[in-house]
Amino acid sequence: MCQQAQCFNRGQVEALSKALGNYMTGSEISKLLCQCGIDDNSNQTTKWRRLDYCFIERQNKDRSPNAILRFIKEALQPVLFMNDSDKYEAFRTDVNQVILTAGLEIQRDGNLCFAVAATTIDEVKHRTQNLERMLRQRCVHECVLKYCKEELLQENYFHAVFEATKSLSDRVRELTSLSLDGYKLFDEAFKISNPYLAMNKLQTSSEQNQQNGLHQMLNGVTSMVRNVTAHEPKIKWLINESDAVDILCTISFLHKQLDQCIVVPHFTA
């Protein structure tokens, strides 16, 4: 950060202190204040009030927010959250909601960088929304996240949807050992007579309708998403965040149905 950051105002310091206090223990705060050379003499027992006092005192003394910025960066080192990535993203998002109003942002790699300052609450919320976090809150199937994680981190909705759709074919091939793709794969795997995957016993018309419904949904998602995104330039089909969440949740539902399917053995002579 070669550019000089401006001092935080009173409201920003308070909001930042609350965000940090929500995720850090008292001992972690003590250790980091010492590490950053910030005097810890507030006599406050509440974590956020303690940070608020210490930050204001140090910023006024330095006439600079640098000590506070160092504290933020040290608190949000990704290596500290190797076993709890969800906590890291939640922590980073909450801190960014505050510091974006000052034209700053903590990136996913833990680097602190300058950004265009957010001026409204709606703008802050929009810019700090995290697609992966939204999906996890909806208990989306891990297979969806696994196949499009890199794209999600780039917040590239077009490719996230495409990669997640491909995961359905990959999953069916893995379960059945079939080498087909697309419609041919689903047609073979879910045929009523001698299927490779069965949702149920397939004895009644209702049970067969369920099987056909899953079969048709898999074909439908592949037709609507995968075939279009594979052949159309990105500019021709714009997928916004809301659409991406809806489609990915549908794909998640299909993966959960596959979880319940019975793998029917097929033996070759």
3-state SS class at 137: helix
The pTM of this model reads 0.57
SS3 letters for 38-84? CCCCCCCCCHHHHHHHHHHHHHHHHCCCHHHHHHHHHHCCHHHHCCC
Each domain of the chain, given as residue ranges in start order, spans 10-128, 137-263
pLDDT (tens digit, 9 = 90+) per residue, 224-263?
887 655 555 444 456 777 888 899 999 999 999 999 999 9
CB 178 within 8 A of CB 188: yes
pLDDT of residue 161: 86
pLDDT of residue 191: 96
pLDDT (tens digit, 9 = 90+) per residue, 73-87?
999 999 999 998 888
pLDDT of residue 209: 98
Long-range interactions of 60-65: CB distance < 8 A, separation 24+: 63/7, 64/4, 64/5, 64/7, 65/5, 65/6, 65/7, 65/8
pLDDT (tens digit, 9 = 90+) per residue, 186-195?
999 999 999 9
**Is the pLDDT score of 169 beyond 60?**
yes
Mean pLDDT of the chain: 88
pLDDT (tens digit, 9 = 90+) per residue, 110-166?
999 888 888 888 777 776 666 777 888 888 998 888 776 655 555 557 778 888 899
